Every structure is written in structure tokens, then in C-alpha cells.
Structure 1
């Protein structure tokens, strides 16, 4: 007796999905090129990465969409000719917006006339790693500084008290001058340690307009450094953020004053300081993703920060200026941490930018 036929569900999967539909839902950017490196197709993730639409770029060469150097193009041609897949780590692409992106890409030759490229952006991951390292270093500095402050302030109090008692028992009033020097120097060291610890008052977070903070800083700097040109590039759509206005003024002023003083010390012909605000959506600070972040840029056209100082820029007592105490940036970073934010820096001769990043969500 013949066996009954298998049910239809046993012969085929319960449903089928078109490969094209799968590619369109990937978060990895996928681009299909022909043998001449012209675009034949791309998925929505690639459209987002390259900031263009598939319809507009169909038939155009890849290098016209994203600036690729000769090395990357040679890799694509080699993969096409040898029919061998290739992966490139941390390659640089120049995007149509003028920005550059660091990506990992894998090229897979499907035939002599078809190249499939998978592009994975690396900027966000690299920035997260850099920010996590920065936050970890700042926490370590905070612990060390507090321990140092405790060890220094205790004997300073004893020295100051002993000097005051000694001054009362001195037979010659003229000798009191020396005890006053001891007291004054002990007070100076105490104040220095207090400044290393940052603001000594608790943050009082209240709704505030960040542009009011910037205008206060600009007014102070114009009075101190009238030769500098100040440019305002504000985003008026920014909502209010919750923070301590006095502390944020101090943080912005510390960063901006450093920039203006560096330009003056190097005799820049037309010193220019730009204060810029932007909103960043779905932005990651450290390991935490925020729906909306305020980016406050402080940009100068000074000489740039020496390479040797960039890794230790936010450490206490580190300064590139002979008269600097090295506490301004450390205190500013500490204030930003109290607002769940941080400070980043990019520097090159003629353009140094400090970015103060502050979440705009409520922390209550």
C-alpha cells in the first residue's frame, strides 16, 4: 500500500521571505556595485549612511558618493579581478555632507560584474570607547584628588593653628610678620586644594536657557579681551535644560577663557572665538544613550593643542601655558560630569574645538 503524501507544511517552510526584503531591514549598510564600481542598488541603511537616496545615485560611481582613497578603490578592483572577498578595518570615507566617517567594510564578489559591499560605521563605537575611557580616568582623578586633599588639609590646619598660637606668645611684635606668612601660605595651599576638588557646593538643577549662559560668558570675555572677535552660532530651537546656571557659567568660562588666552599669547592676527549650539538626537554619552543632547561648541582659530598634552588635557595641574594653574579644564570636566555630560576636544593648528555635551532629559 503506497504511503500517503507528506503534508504541504512538511515540504516547505511555513512562510518565505524575499532576500531583498531582508536586506532592506538590515542595520548594516549594503551596496551592490557593477564591475565598473557603479552603484546598482543599496538598502535604506546605506542611504542613511551616505545621506542620499537610491534613486538619485543609481548608475553613479561609488567615489562620487563617498570619497574613497586610491587604496580602497584598489581593494575593490582586486576583489573583482580575483573573485576573492576582502575586509578592511577602520577605513575613512568622505561623506557628501563634508564630514568623514570611519567604517569597516567587506567586499564580496558575487561575479565578475557584481560586488556586494557591507559597510559598518565605527565612529559611534570608537567614540563610546573613548568616552568610557575618559569617564573612567576622570573618576580615578576624582578619587586621587579627594585622597590628596584629605592628606594635605589635615596637616595644613595644624600648621595654621600652631602659627596663630605662636604669634600670641612672641615677645617681639615684629616677629609676627613671619607667623602671618605661615598662615597666609597655609590658606593659599588650602584654597588650591579646594579648587582641585571643583565646586564645593551641591548642584541645584533648575530649568535654564543655555544661550543665557553663553551670553553671560561672552559679555565677560568681551570686557577682558576686547581684541578678540566673538561669533554666535546658536540653534534657537533648543529646549531648556536642567542644570546649575552658576556652575555651567564657570565651566564654559574656563574653557572659553583658555582659548582666548592661547590666541593672545601666540599673537593671532584676527583672534576669533565661535560659540555654537546644536541638538543631537539619539546620542550616546559613555555607555548611555540619550534621546536628545545639547552640544555646545567653543571653537577658536589659535595654534592648537600640542599632541603631548591631548591625553592629559583634563588632568589637574596640567597646563600648556606658563601662567596657567592647570585646573580650569579639570574643574569644567567635573562640572559637566555633575550634569551627566562630558567635554570632548578636537584640535589642529588653526582650529581647536571643545564640545560640551549635556543631556536634555530630566534627571529627577
Structure 2
């Protein structure tokens, strides 16, 4: 399908946004205001960037000719103009000259003026990211309640079990039998420590102090290299322009340490060959949405390793409590990391393939 050239703007047309449209420039979604003829009267900055054209060049472009299904699009505009619906949503593709078609979720709504229709286009990969974020946040809240309830149910009988074992030990005369009561006490203590770790993120509010993320990363890399002194390389790729932000330094160290230590443990076979590598990369991300809230600036910390990757069946569950792919693991490291980062209004996401696993930590800056 050919893309029509934009028509020359009429002499009286305004090519700069008026006060009614200026707010659209602050949105990350693609916004166009069209007339009943489907020609663009205004395009916001996000649409300019997606199309690679200025709003001056987009003005007058027949937007219906740039949709995968122009007939349905024109009908939707007519229905919006007639007041047949308040808003119409559907998925289609936005055709762009010299670029691949962009899958978008389209929302069509009547504008403030009778001859105006507002077209909002959300790239489907962005929509999928929002849905994934919502799912991770909802799962974390559910896990938090589960852990708190489970810990409460375990602690009370555990204390009684330990106390009964100690009383029984005092009554026993045979030293060999006392070994069994000691096993009960030791295992009860081990379970108590596990419960305490599960409850750690919820026992107190995070501190608020100025944190330098690179100091956190440097501290973590020293700890990990001390634990794995041979065969592991840690590459630091920092953006020095990232400002300090308010947070709990100790909890952030623990969160990053849990991620990096997990990566190091997965790299043990590569360490024997001397090829194990973990990269700590920091960047500034702009116009990021976290928990449906827009942030102008955010810290993006990537922990990248060249290990075997996470099994596909485990990838969606890596942040679940007590889920682990290691024989001697507790399944709490990444759960705690996610909890600590979410206490900073952030999120941890994971992508993995054989030879390349990335944990992305995103935290708003201010």
C-alpha cells in the first residue's frame, strides 16, 4: 500500500499547537487530532518521533491512508463525529514511509469541537510492557500477603516445637537420645531464620538518604569478587551523569547483591574456563512509566551475564517466593530484591536466553 504525500497546508491553517492541544506534547502515546476528512490537524511530539517527520510535514496528511484498514478507520471517525460512541478501541498497524509498520492499539474519541476527532495510538509493545509491569506489581503484593500469613502460621507452632524439644532433652538420661532433640532444635532454628528472612522487607519502612548507585555497584562487585575470586570478570559500564537519589542504601545493596550473586552462581562452569563475565551497566531512562505513573527520569541498572540462561519454564516465576532452580537455594533472593526495589517505586524485570541474561532494575529519580 502506498503512503500518500502530505498535502500543502492551507494558508490559514495553524501548524503550531494551540492551547487546547499543547498538553498532548507531554504524553508518551502517539496523538493526532484529525477532522472529519481524516486529515491531520495536529500531531504531538511522540507521533513526530515515531514517524520521523515534523508536525509541519504531518499537517494535512490523510491518516486513513496510513492505516492497515483505512475503511474501518474512516467509519470510526464518522461514528465518533456523530456521537455514536464515546470512545472506540481496536488494534491495527500504522504504516510509515521507509519504516516497518508499527502495531498499535488505537483509541478514537470525539474532540472538544464538533469537527475534531482525537486519535490516540499506543504501540503494542508499550502496552505489553504496561501489562507486564501491572502483573509483576500485583504478584508482588500477593506474595507479600502470602509470606506474611504463612510466616505467622509457621512461627507459633515452631516455637512450641523447639520448646518441647528442649524440655524433652532435660528429661532424657541417654546422651544418644539427646542427639535427636538437638536435631529438632537446630532444624527449628533454621526454619525460624528462613521465616525471618521472608519477613525482612516488611518489618520496617525503608530509610531515606542520598544514594549514589555507583557506590552501591562498586560495593557489590567487591563482595562478589571476594566470594568468587577466580575466573570471573565484572565489567563496569557506568553513566557518570546519573544523580544521587533518595533511597535506602543497605536495601539497595542487598537487592543488587542478590541479583549479581545469582548470576555468579549460574556462571560456575564458565569460571572454570575463565570466560565468566558479569556486566553492571547504568543509564538514565527518560519518560518511563512505572505502575502507571509517568516519570521524567529514571535510573536503569542492567545486570548482564553470559551464563546458560534461565529455563523457559522458570523465567516467569523467578520472583516467586521459594521458587529456585538451585538444589541448595531458598528461592528468596530475587523475591527480596524485587520487594526492596518496589519499596523505591521501582521494578526488576528479567529477559533470558542461552548465553545472555539481563536483569533490569528501574528506579525513578526524584
Q: Per-residue deviation at 1:170?
A: 1.8
Q: Per-residue deviation at 1:251?
A: 0.7
The residue aligned with 1:219 is 222
The residue aligned with 1:275 is 280
> Counterpart of 2:300 in 1: which secondary structure?
strand
> Counterpart of 1:343 in 2: which secondary structure?
strand
Q: Measured at CA, do residues 217 and 90 of structure 1 come closer, stay the same or move farther in structure 2, by a change above 3 Å?
A: farther
Residue 170 of structure 1, aligned match among 169, 172, 180: 172
Deviations 1:157-211 (A, max 9, x none): 0011111112222223443222111111110111112222234554222111110
Aligned residues: 309
Contact kept? 1:160, 1:183, Cα under 8 Å = yes
Alpha-carbon distance between aligned partners in 2 of 1:179 and 1:93, rounded to the nearest angstrom = 73
Q: Measured at CA, do residues 264 and 103 of structure 1 come closer, stay the same or move farther in structure 2, by a change above 3 Å?
A: farther
Alpha-carbon distance between aligned partners in 1 of 2:325 and 2:47, rounded to the nearest angstrom = 43
Q: Measured at CA, do residues 136 and 42 of structure 1 come closer, stay the same or move farther in structure 2, by a change above 3 Å?
A: closer
Alpha-carbon distance between aligned partners in 1 of 2:156 and 2:44, rounded to the nearest angstrom = 65
Q: Measured at CA, do residues 187 and 239 of structure 1 come closer, stay the same or move farther in structure 2, by a change above 3 Å?
A: same
Q: Per-residue deviation at 1:321?
A: 2.4
Q: Measured at CA, do residues 101 and 182 of structure 1 come closer, stay the same or move farther in structure 2, by a change above 3 Å?
A: farther
Contact kept? 1:93, 1:103, Cα under 8 Å = no
Contact kept? 2:323, 2:330, Cα under 8 Å = yes
Q: Tell me the C-alpha RMSD between the 2 structures.
A: 4.0
Q: Measured at CA, do residues 105 and 359 of structure 1 come closer, stay the same or move farther in structure 2, by a change above 3 Å?
A: closer
1:134-145 alignment, distance < 5 Å: 134-145=136-147
Alpha-carbon distance between aligned partners in 2 of 1:125 and 1:140, rounded to the nearest angstrom = 23
The residue aligned with 1:132 is 134
> Counterpart of 2:234 in 1: which secondary structure?
strand
Of structures 1 and 2, the larger Rg is shown by 1
Alpha-carbon distance between aligned partners in 1 of 2:74 and 2:92, rounded to the nearest angstrom = 20
Deviations 1:73-101 (A, max 9, x none): xx86x969xx999998376999x9x9x97
> Counterpart of 2:241 in 1: which secondary structure?
coil
User: Aligned pair 1:260/2:264, yes or no?
Assistant: yes
The residue aligned with 1:292 is 297
Q: Measured at CA, do residues 206 and 79 of structure 1 come closer, stay the same or move farther in structure 2, by a change above 3 Å?
A: closer
Deviations 1:87-123 (A, max 9, x none): 98376999x9x9x9753479xxxxxxxxxx9954233
Using structure 2 for the length normalisation, give the TM-score. Answer: 0.71
Alpha-carbon distance between aligned partners in 1 of 2:298 and 2:139, rounded to the nearest angstrom = 22
1:74-89 alignment, distance < 5 Å: 89=91
Unpaired stretches in structure 1, ≥5 consecutive residues: 1-15, 31-40, 59-74, 107-116
The residue aligned with 2:247 is 243
Unpaired stretches in structure 2, ≥5 consecutive residues: 1-10, 33-41, 59-66, 77-88, 108-118
Residue 157 of structure 2, aligned match among 131, 155, 160: 155
Contact kept? 1:214, 1:275, Cα under 8 Å = yes
